[in-house]
Chains A and B, each alone.
Chain A
Amino acid sequence: MALDPNDEILQDFLVSSREILEALDKQLVELEQRPDDKELLNAVFRGFHTIKGGASFLALTPLVEVCHRGEDVFNLLRRGERTVTSQLMDVVLRVLDSVNEMFTQLNRAEMPDSADPELLAQLEKLSRPGGDNATPTPAVAAPTPVEASGDITDDEFESLLDALAGGEAPAAAKPTAKPTALASTVPAQAAAGEISDDEFEALLDQLQGSVKPAAPQASPAPAAPEAAPAKAVENRPRAPAAEPGAASAAPAGETTVRVDTQRLDDIMNMVGELVLVRNRLTNLQATMGDERLAKAVADLNMVTTDLQIAVMKTRMQPIKKVYGKFPRVVRDVARSLSKEVTLEMRGEDTEVDKNLVEVLNDPLVHLVRNAIDHGIEAPEVRAAAGKPRHGTLLLAAEQVGDHILLTISDDGAGMDPDVLRNKVVEKGLMDADVAARLTPQECYNLIFLPGFSTKTQISDISGRGVGMDVVRTKINSLNGSIEIDSARGQGSSILIRVPLTLAIMPALMVIVDRQIFALPLASVAEILDMDLTATNVVDGQLMVLVRDKTLPLFYLQHWLAPGTPNRPLPKNGHVVVAHVGSQRVGLVVDQLIGQEEAVIKPLGSRLQGTPGLAGATITGTGRIALILDLPTLVRHYARRSYREVA
């Protein structure tokens, strides 16, 4: 049954429930640490209760049913008639998953499907008082397809098919299976517990499948176009802290208006146009030199900047949206790896552009999983090293200037540059002598190379060697950067910088063959004027020595204006040194214009998907400039050896 996506009440329910679900996620994880906390039990009870109430108002029966049973279980818990066990938590967390799934359906304006009957039966059992010995049926029940293990080997698959076909007994088929390296790890995982494989698979798929760096402007929401506007964002104007008690009593609902995100996008677009006009006026004024005009332009400049910030703020959402789910992720991963991890979060209220929040989600989840899997040691190892058994994972967010800095740091084993050097050579990704020359900092960045994984055993959690390069690509596609710092025995930190917004970007405007191009300022390290004859060709690649370090040099003209190849290249030139992935490259341009606020406009259908182009903008002089996407540009045009490093 389809629901009306424009139903205000449904939308209100979705928005208010989202907060409750996020809170529940966190509360349930806390509950494992403080199973006797009455307040917490009450809070969880109320969470289910409130969602149930709203759901029954809207006659969403499947949701009512599952929440109702969840509520029943917590009612027993809060009255002390049952105690929190890890088995119970497993069931309850599955309930939350089920509720979340239903909300996914509701967001698509579909009537949610009923919860798994087996889950409901388990809940039913738990909601009867006493009977703590009631052992829930094994979590990996064979007939539920959702539960299917992610890493299924061919042999297992065969035997499963056999079992389904009803032919041989599946037990007989199993021993004949050749024990491959992969297969040998599988039973262990299955036994390790309930970290849901499908969830992880989905994540991997998403990371692998959805990387389209050339289209940063495209909304990352995979929803169908007609469904997209239905999604609404609740803006909560920050009430001044010092308001009298009356304010605290005022309901949140009365001071907020729900606005279609499409409308916000439109406004942002128009502000973008305004910024462009402002840029042109500023330019004109500079050439005319009229004082009164200068005054007016200066005023316009200020107002436009304020407006731009104000509009940007309407699109801001607290990073909590992403961070909120980490307690659960950490709990699940730590549990399946038998590690003890305390999650600390800081700056959850830091606000980020809505689109960024959505795009950042997957990379962050991957990094957090990695930190627990690779970074934090097993409790015994930690104890032996004189560290507390509990590892600590810190997730922090703060606004630094016009950027958001996200930090993921652990107090784990840290990284060993030599291990990384050996690995990269072993994998054939780099020559031994090149690797030997890498600084420790550069070594850490090796983990971003495609195909690089330091774990010899492939675990369920990470270590497939596909994650980190995808993470970096994704961060880069947001005009962001990612850095690693590590100290052996003390832990590692990953620093991610992303711009506040995706709509307007500070850019360095340059001219290449009479055309203007915009380079994202975030990736520009420095600008050099240098003698272009003092170059060497190493292994077929043009290199230049800058402060005793080699820098690969590329003529942008060769890539961007290949039609005019035989123009003599100047002896002296402007070189823009840019970060491209973990590498620095020198890009030769004809002329430098300066810094400008580039309002990103999507490319027309003809240019859409052209490698190396992130979009277009209109310059202060009213000309059109293409915005370069340096990582893809380099990857696409540079020689193979650099393509990989990039």
Chain B
Amino acid sequence: MPVRILIVDDSGFFRRRLSEIFAADPAIEVVGTAGNGQEGVDQVARLRPDVVTMDIEMPVMDGITAVRRIMAAHPTPILMFSSLTTEGAQSTFDALEAGAADYLPKRLEDIAADRNEAIRQLTTRVRLLASRGLRHTASRQPAQVIAREVARTPTARSAAAGRYRILAIGASTGGPVALQQVLTALPKDFPLPILLVQHMPASFTGPFAQRLNQMCAISVKEAADGDVLAAGHALLAPGGKQMVIEQRVSGQVAVRIRESEPGQNYRPSVDTTFTSVARIFPGKTLALVLTGMGADGREGARALKQGGSSVWAQDEKSCVVYGMPAAVAEAGLADQVLPLTSIGPEIAHEVSAWTS
């Protein structure tokens, strides 16, 4: 049965383009289109589509409000179309927080240089969102769920005191909301430096870091070349680039921001950062692989595991897309598999137990 999709966009031009693109895919059926948020909400109630694509700027009712209404009345996976601007980033994060499952750049060229490849990715994304259904609505999950006791397996912990020197987190689809939830759970005096790798376009990582910084007790900033790691400070890998760390003669550890190489499909890549962390902090890293499509992070996790570090993965149920955590878990690299709501408190607990 084809994926039933509803297109919400105030531009007739875009509605027609998207309809054409989806109509060309036999696995997708466009069941309706709507010209503004209000129509979108009404159409969702009437048509009950499997996936909704949603524009942000629309008359009558904007996309973010529409997402909120749809998620309240008839939770449906929603794919946002965003402009790759600072403004667009902010709106996109708002939409994700409101419950949208994922976003894509509105310009096909921004998805992939080759138009056919971009269309392929777009349709794949839609099919995937539909097949996964709605995994979670992170923003509305009440905090008390944390009560759930996690089977803590004291896995191959090295005997050394000061077990952890760094926390590294990788995420993709669904990551912005997941990261927000994890990081807001960390206290201001969190004793470790944090590295964040979130698959995201270049123009989004800056606003995303600012946003996290405002929400979290810890400080968050977009990493710049030469930034020195410090406890309680999270550095977010800039979009389009690669983030690695290196030890200086002084003993300080600093991040290096490098251009992506042609072979690197993920920019930034979790594998690249994790591998570099495994080299500098062997056995002393707590790594976390959150929701996301694909398998980026598995090879990095493998390197970390080989050095004796710990790797945790988000569980299937709480993932928007259970791809990256699945890859890690299925390769036998995960020490723990946790629901999203538990991850933050668990980290805080684990780290306080093993540091100082």
Give me the interface of A with B, judged by CB distance under 8 Å.
Answer: 9, 12-13, 16-17, 42-43, 45-46, 49-50, 53-54, 56-57, 59, 75, 245-246, 248-254
Contact = CB atoms under 8 A, between A and B. Distances in A.
Contacts of B42: 245, 249
Nearest to A45: B57
A249 B35 contact: yes
B282 interface: no
Contacts of A42: 59
A147 B83 CA distance: 34
Given A42-B59, A43-B59, A249-B32, A53 B14 contact: yes
A57 B107 contact: yes
Contacts of B102: none
Ranked nearest first, the 5 interchain pairs of A and B with the lowest CB-CB distance are: A251-B33, A16-B13, A50-B11, A253-B16, A54-B13
21 contacts: A12-B13, A13-B13, A16-B11, A16-B13, A42-B59, A46-B10, A46-B57, A46-B58, A50-B11, A50-B57, A53-B14, A53-B106, A53-B107, A246-B46, A248-B39, A249-B34, A249-B43, A251-B33, A251-B34, A253-B15, A253-B19
Contacts of A59: 109
B106 to A, nearest CB: 6
Nearest to B106: A53
Contacts of B34: 249, 251
Contacts of B33: 249-251, 253-254
B162 interface: no
Given A57-B107, A249-B39, A249-B42, A17 B13 contact: yes
A9 B57 CA distance: 22
Given A50-B57, A253-B33, 12 more contacts: A16-B13, A42-B59, A50-B11, A54-B14, A56-B106, A56-B107, A57-B13, A57-B14, A57-B17, A249-B35, A251-B12, A253-B15
Contacts of A16: 11-13
Interface string B1-24: 000000000111111110100000
Contacts of B57: 45-46, 49-50
B86 to A, nearest CB: 10
B87 interface: yes
Contacts of A251: 12, 15-16, 33-35
A16 B59 CA distance: 16
Interface string B90-130: 00000000000000001111000000000000000000000
Nearest to B38: A249
Interface string B187-204: 000000000000000000
A54 B39 contact: no
B338 to A, nearest CB: 40
Given A9-B17, A245-B42, A249-B43, A57 B108 contact: yes
A12 B10 CA distance: 15
Given A43-B59, A45-B57, A54 B11 contact: yes
B63 to A, nearest CB: 12
A56 B32 CA distance: 25
A75 B11 contact: no
A45 B62 CA distance: 13
The size bracket of the interface on B is 20 to 34
B140 to A, nearest CB: 27
B88 to A, nearest CB: 10
Given A56-B107, A254-B33, A50 B16 contact: no
A253 B12 contact: yes
B329 to A, nearest CB: 39
Contacts of A254: 19, 33
Contacts of B19: 253-254
A59 B42 CA distance: 33
A59 B58 CA distance: 22
A13 B16 CA distance: 10
A57 B13 CA distance: 10
A46 B59 contact: yes
Interface string B165-181: 00000000000000000
A50 B43 contact: no
Interface in B257-276: none
A261 B251 CA distance: 75
Nearest to A49: B57
Contacts of A53: 11, 13-14, 83, 106-107
A442 B248 CA distance: 97
Interface string B36-74: 000100110010000000000111000000000000000
Contacts of A12: 13, 16
A44 to B, nearest CB: 11
A254 B12 CA distance: 10
B2 to A, nearest CB: 18
A249 B19 CA distance: 15
Nearest to A9: B17
Nearest to B42: A249
A252 B13 contact: no
Contacts of B12: 16, 251-253
Q: Point out which of B12, B42, B59 has the most chain A C-beta atoms below 10 A from its C-beta.
A: B12
Nearest to A16: B13
A254 B11 CA distance: 13
Contacts of A253: 12, 15-16, 19, 33
A251 B87 CA distance: 27
Q: Point out which of B14, B16, B34, B87 has the most chain A C-beta atoms below 10 A from its C-beta.
A: B16
Contacts of B87: 75
Contacts of A56: 106-107, 109
A135 to B, nearest CB: 26
Contacts of A45: 57
A596 B107 CA distance: 57
A45 B33 CA distance: 22
Contact of B10 (A50, A75, A245, A249): A50
Contacts of B13: 12-13, 16-17, 50, 53-54, 57
A433 to B, nearest CB: 64
Q: Point out which of A16, A45, A50, A250 has the most chain B C-beta atoms below 10 A from its C-beta.
A: A50
B311 to A, nearest CB: 40
Contacts of B46: 246
Nearest to A234: B12
Nearest to B55: A53
A594 to B, nearest CB: 49
Nearest to B14: A53
A579 to B, nearest CB: 45
A45 B59 CA distance: 10
Contacts of A49: 57, 83
Contacts of B107: 53, 56-57
A251 B15 CA distance: 8
A249 B40 CA distance: 8
A13 B17 CA distance: 10
A249 B46 CA distance: 11
A59 B59 CA distance: 25
Contacts of B15: 251, 253
Contacts of B16: 12, 251, 253
Nearest to A64: B107
Nearest to A256: B12
Nearest to B87: A75
A75 B17 CA distance: 26
A42 B57 CA distance: 9
B218 to A, nearest CB: 29
A16 B32 CA distance: 19
B110 to A, nearest CB: 9
B343 to A, nearest CB: 35
A46 B57 CA distance: 7
Q: Point out which of B13, B33, B34, B108 has the most chain A C-beta atoms below 10 A from its C-beta.
A: B13
Nearest to B15: A251
